[in-house]
Each structure stands twice: as C-alpha cells, then as structure tokens.
C-alpha cells in the first residue's frame, strides 16, 4: 500500500460495531458480556481494495483535507460469519510530518448490521503512513435496535486493511 493509501486504512478504523449481544441472525460477536449495563462486542473488519476511493487535495502528497471514502466487510472473527458492512469518510485534519505521512484523520463511519445501523466518530493517528496499535472513538448513535446506542469503540489495527474492533455500548 502506498503511503498516500494510508488514508484507506481509516476505513478499518471505523470498521465495526453493535448494539445487542445477539444479532438477528443468531450469531454472537466474539467476547460478548453485559457487566454494569455495558455491552461489549469484538468483531473483525476487512477492507476490500475495490471499495476505496482516495481524494487527495494535492495529488501525490499527504495534505490537509485529503479524504478517503470506503466500505469494509464485517465478520464475527477473522474467517468467521458475515455480519454486514460499513461505510465511511475520513479526512486528514492535522499533519505532524508530511514527508512520512504522519498526522491525524477524523472519521465518520456507519455500520449496517442485521438489527440496524450504528454511527461512530473517531480521530485516528497515522505514524509513517500506518494506523497502528489500539485507537479509541465514540459511538454517536444508531437506528432500530441501536437507536439509543452510545459508548466507545476501541480499534486494534492488524494492518492498514484489517482490524479487530471492540464496542462498549451503554444505553
């Protein structure tokens, strides 16, 4: 993946969500629990190359305002059952080192699941053109079964194309 292609990786940053312990299909996300009114789920997200568009402000350069538009496939685990898909937009909002494609991207992602949609918003740190480690974001709302969704998402990046996301939902 080219350095500028790192914007695509943000697709994975959004790449997963839920609102109930059991999905309409009867599949449970990996690691569900219900402690203290918080529901926690971990799922796997995979970015497909044909579902990514990169819109650079300055072609060939990592620049403020560069956007990526993407869609991930969502699964119960790597190699697991399909749960749905997501779609989102990320924009470069801060550059710490343009030469190494390091900075911050703001992402808004909607996850389409069997029982409804969940929306998230997140700032993701890019280091040398890569999303690494575990990064936190907010669950900002949802529809149908998830209409009162709020909480936090923690995305563990395996690469710029795949991640595990853990959702901690309240409400």
Specify the CATH number for the domain of residue 135.
Answer: 2.40.480.10
Which residue has tokens 């898909």? 85
Q: Is the pTM of this model over 0.75?
A: yes
User: Domain residues for 65?
Assistant: 3-170
Pseudo-torsion of CA 8, 91, 60, 10, nearest 10°?
-20
Give me the average pLDDT of each 10-residue run along the chain (171 residues): 38 32 35 64 87 90 93 94 94 96 95 90 93 94 90 91 89 70
CA distance 33 to 53: 36
CA distance 167 to 148: 14
What pLDDT is stored for residue 35 in this prediction? Answer: 52
Number of structural domains (the chain) is: 1
User: CA angle, corner 100, sides to 45 and 57, nearest 5?
Assistant: 75
What pLDDT is stored for residue 36 in this prediction? Answer: 58
- Yes or no: say if 61 and 52 are a contact pair by the CB < 8 Å rule: no
How many beta carbons lie within 10 A of that of residue 92, not counting itself? 24
What pLDDT is stored for residue 158 in this prediction? Answer: 93
What pLDDT is stored for residue 49 in this prediction? Answer: 75
Query: Shortest CA distance to 131 belongs to which of 12, 21, 35, 22?
Result: 12
């Amino acid at each position: 993946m080219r350095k500028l292609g790192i914007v695509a990786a943000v697709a994975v940053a959004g790449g997963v969500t839920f609102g109930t312990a059991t999905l309409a299909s009867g599949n449970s996300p990996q690691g569900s629990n219900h402690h203290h009114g918080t529901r926690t789920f971990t799922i796997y997200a995979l970015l497909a190359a044909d579902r990514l568009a990169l819109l650079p402000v300055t072609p060939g350069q990592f620049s403020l305002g560069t956007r990526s538009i993407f869609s991930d496939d969502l699964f119960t685990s790597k190699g697991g059952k399909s749960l749905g898909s997501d779609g989102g937009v990320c924009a470069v909002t801060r550059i710490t080192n343009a030469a190494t494609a390091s900075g911050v991207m703001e992402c808004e992602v909607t996850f389409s699941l069997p029982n409804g949609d969940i929306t998230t918003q997140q700032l993701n740190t890019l280091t040398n053109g890569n999303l690494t480690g575990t990064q936190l974001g907010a669950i900002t709302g949802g529809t149908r079964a998830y209409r009162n969704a709020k909480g936090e998402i923690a995305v563990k990046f395996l690469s710029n194309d795949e991640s595990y996301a853990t959702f901690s939902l309240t409400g």
